[in-house]
Structure 1
Amino acid sequence: MNDAAPVTNPPPDARTRVLDAAEAIVQTRGVPAMTLEAVARDAGVSKGGLLYHFASKEALLAGMLGRLAETISRDFDSTLAAQPEGPGRVARTMLAWAFEDMACEHQDRAAAVFLAAFHHDPALLDPVRAVFERMRAAIAADGLAPGAGQAIMCATDGLFMSRVFGMYELDAAELRTLRAALERLLEAAP
């Protein structure tokens, strides 16, 4: 007989609840609905509690972007670590990221945070821009034919943006065809 208590995750701290609530509000109700009062209410904290962690709406948005930049960087690095060494490793990472995580909740949350920050102050996106600059440098040094890695990065970014803005949706066959075309670029590695 096992008398051990079941392992449960501790509840998120107030700062995490505030960030989660802000993301959820933007994602479900839009940028104008993200007031400090609404975020505090949805996070289950007082407005003073929210202001303890984030002194202003801009500070809250900066916190959202900082957390998003850390998440993107961590997810990219873990996906990269799973790829075999050699030319095209970074490009394969981008393909795995784009095609295997298409319906990922992280993408929806990222989109909401991007839009909220851009709506308020585009400079708030700088931490995420820095992560993508690191990825651009990695793809440029990936050992592929000139332009091939950049084409893969732009195509996968385009898939994300089409989803964010609801411009078009590719069906499963179109996604397979697109991925196969992008993988052929990897075959051009020297």
Structure 2
Amino acid sequence: MAKPTAKERILDSYEEILIEQGPGGITLEAVAAHAGVSKGGLLYHFGSKDALVDGMMERLARLSDEDIERARKAPEGVVLYYLRTAITDVTMQKPLHRTTMATIRILLNEPRVADVVKTYNKKIHDMISENVDDPLTAELVILVGDGLYLRAALGGEDPSHLLDRMDEISARIQR
């Protein structure tokens, strides 16, 4: 695997600080130090805190689009992929999960972040709706996926035991 670029390390550090400390922990100096670059190096790639947010939103959009593409090509189908990855993305600490968690930390303070999240949610809704005949059932699939994701992400009861029952869960929702 290729070593991450300085720009990627900076975004990784920005996300990690957001996840661990929230927006109050973000200074350009803290992000640069965490990434192992000078403040000037950070400013070369991201000229401001706003540019860091923009960079993270670009990453979220890219990772989300890649995930939707994987879902569309998944041998098990879109619904099972969506439900399964709601758990596995968290337990395996996939990049999309980390970016999503960092995004949640700034969502209330950054209106442009809400726009990116709404766009991704609409793409998910459209993808599920294209693959589930009944609109209410499509909504239920999304709600179950969201619930599985939040349960896994927030550290409540670990939903991993449900992975072996995804076929049954999908069948019940669609019944």
**TM-score above 0.5:** yes
Determine which structure has the larger helix proportion and give its number. 2
- Report the TM range for the smaller structure's normalisation: 0.7 to 0.9
Instruction: Give the structure-1-normalised TM-score.
Output: 0.76
SS in 1 for 2:91: coil
Measured in 1, the distance between the counterparts of 2:119 and 2:63 equals 13
Q: Does residue 1:25 correspond to 2:14, yes or no?
A: no
SS in 2 for 1:105: coil
- Out of 103, 106, 115, which is 1:126 matched to? 115
Measured in 2, the distance between the counterparts of 1:123 and 1:56 equals 16
Deviation of 1:25 after TM superposition, in Å, equals 1.6
Structure 2 portions without partners, runs of 5+: none
| Shift in CA distance, 20/171, structure 1 to aligned 2, threshold 3 Å | closer
- Out of 57, 61, 78, which is 1:65 matched to? 57
Larger CA deviation: 150-159 vs 107-116 = 107-116
Task: Name the % identity.
Answer: 31
Instruction: Give the structure-2-normalised TM-score.
Output: 0.82
Q: RMSD between aligned alpha carbons?
A: 2.6
2:28/2:49 contact within 8 Å kept: yes
Runs (4+) off by over 3 Å? 99-102, 162-166, 170-179
Which residue pairs with 2:139 in the alignment? 150
Structure 1 segment 156-167 matched on structure 2, within 5 A: 156-166=145-155
Measured in 2, the distance between the counterparts of 1:138 and 1:174 equals 23
Aligned length: 174
| Shift in CA distance, 158/11, structure 1 to aligned 2, threshold 3 Å | same
SS in 1 for 2:131: coil
- Out of 88, 95, 105, which is 2:83 matched to? 95
Structure 1 portions without partners, runs of 5+: 1-8
Which residue pairs with 1:16 in the alignment? 8
One-letter amino acid of the structure 1 residue matched with residue 42 of structure 2: L
Measured in 1, the distance between the counterparts of 2:32 and 2:149 equals 30
Which residue pairs with 2:172 in the alignment? 184
